[in-house]
Structure 1
Amino acid sequence: MILDHRTYTCHPGRIKKHMKLYEDHGWEAQRRHLGEPVVYGAVETGDVNSYVHIWVYEDAADRAAKRAALAADPEWQAFLKLSAESGNLASQVNTILTPAPFFGKPAKG
């Protein structure tokens, strides 16, 4: 299993607009191809202009196949165009994580 941890930072004052744009035009397409995220939330402390989402994949090949299908989806392409035109996003950081060897094992005792 791998985890795709993504942090997006919006320009100040634009996160609510961006989240609404995504809810209306991107959410369904992304879930259709990637499944349900482990986390999708706005940052409440620290950089409050940011939001984070984490997606789980079987492996790098699974991630590549799902992301390719998403990229080819006309609904997703339309969202990306709207997102670019909105100018809400300032930056994006993607991190691929692998679980620690003890993660997911039952507690002893």
Structure 2
Amino acid sequence: MFIEERDYRIKTGKLAIFLEAYETLGLPIQTQYLGRMIGHFTTDIGELNHVVSLWAYDSLDDRARRRQAMFEDRRWQDYLQATTDLIDVQSSRILRPSAFSPLR
């Protein structure tokens, strides 16, 4: 299993707008194509206005296939258009569970 950690720094004052757009426009599409959300979080202490999502994949090829299918869906393009001006910085990391991790 691989876990993708996606981190978005949202522009100041735009977090609630981003979360609403994600919940109504982005999440249904991601759930359809990506399938296995592990969690979705916002920061409360430390650097604020961050959104972190975790998605599980069987392999990097599985991730690539799922994300490609999602990108080909017009609804995903509409979601990206609706949120582009709300995001300041975004990053992505691929995590592999260690042998003793409860998530394997």
TM-score, normalization by structure 1: 0.89
Give the distance between the partners of 2:87 and 2:43, measured in 1 at CA. Answer: 15
Give the distance between the partners of 2:10 and 2:67, measured in 1 at CA. Answer: 22
SS in 2 for 1:23: helix
Which of 84, 89, 100 is the aligned partner of 1:102? 100
The residue number in structure 2 matching 1:61 is 61
Moved over 3 A (4+): none
SS in 2 for 1:96: strand
Give the distance between the partners of 1:8 and 1:81, measured in 2 at CA. Answer: 16
Bigger shift: residues 75-84 or 1-10: 75-84
Instruction: Report percent identity of matched pairs.
Output: 28
Q: CA-to-partner distance for each residue in 1:16-53, whole Å, 9 max, x for gaps?
A: 11111111211101110011310111111112200100
Report the CA distance between 1:97 and its aligned residue.
0.5
The residue number in structure 2 matching 1:72 is 72
The residue number in structure 1 matching 2:44 is 44
Residue segments in structure 1 that go unaligned for 5+ positions in a row:
none
Letter in 1 for 2:44: E
Select the structure of larger CA radius of gyration.
Answer: 1
How many residues of Structure 1 are paired with residues of Structure 2 in the alignment? Answer: 103
Give the distance between the partners of 1:29 and 1:16, measured in 2 at CA. Answer: 19
Kindly report the root-mean-square deviation, in angstroms, between the aligned alpha carbons of the 2 structures. Answer: 1.3
Give the distance between the partners of 2:51 and 2:102, measured in 1 at CA. Answer: 25
The residue number in structure 1 matching 2:15 is 15
